[in-house]
Chain A
């Protein structure tokens, strides 16, 4: 199994400030086709998870441009340029190179 490790696990943020979540994989997620098989999801309270970022850096349809993904190989980052109240929830990275594995989740809440 590929192991996914996120940090931090808890992230209190002041509205309007930036936020950053790190995700590391135990094996490279870079495929020979040049894509990193790493996605980011947000699960808001009481809702199903929703896709934010796929292939490491591609923003999903309808996702605000304050969300961005970067990284390659084993190290990835999700950044929110200016956090809004609606961004609270649990953020997960997930690898899709060898079946699927989620990170532990990072809880973002508002200070």
Chain B
């Protein structure tokens, strides 16, 4: 059974760093890209970036470039989304999803809620 299990909710202060995770199981990890998608209430879904686990190639939406880093650890079939300096505007629900290049997002994680507040 394909599963994407995301890490738990986080509460952080502005300027702090954070890494959230997405552990994949039930399929060949290197055969599917992992994308990260943000949901801000009232604003809809927003694609942030993606990584190809076969070679760690990444693509980012321009508005997120330089603010986030997507990485993987193949040994534990886990993808990560990292911020070095959070802003209040990063408060959102974050989802990981798997897909082939150009393909549909067929499996999604349950989401990780991130709250950034002073």
Contact = CB atoms under 8 A, between A and B. Distances in A.
- A and B: bona fide binding partners: yes
A37 B102 contact: yes
Nearest to B100: A96
B108 A49 contact: yes
A99 B95 contact: no
Nearest to B60: A99
B104 A105 contact: no
B105 A39 contact: yes
Interface in A26-76: 31, 37, 39, 41, 43, 48-51, 54-55, 60
Contacts of A43: 39, 45
Contact of A54 (B35, B61, B104): B104
* Secondary structure call for the B interface: strand
* Secondary structure call for the A interface: loop
Interface residues of A, number: 25
A101 B104 contact: no
Given A48-B109, A48-B110, A49-B45, A99 B59 contact: yes
A101 B35 CA distance: 12
A100 interface: yes
A105 B95 contact: no
B47 interface: yes
Interface in A79-111: 90, 92, 94, 96-97, 99-105
B106 interface: yes
A1 B47 contact: no
Interface of B: 35, 37, 39, 44-47, 50, 59, 61-62, 95, 97, 99, 102-106, 108-111
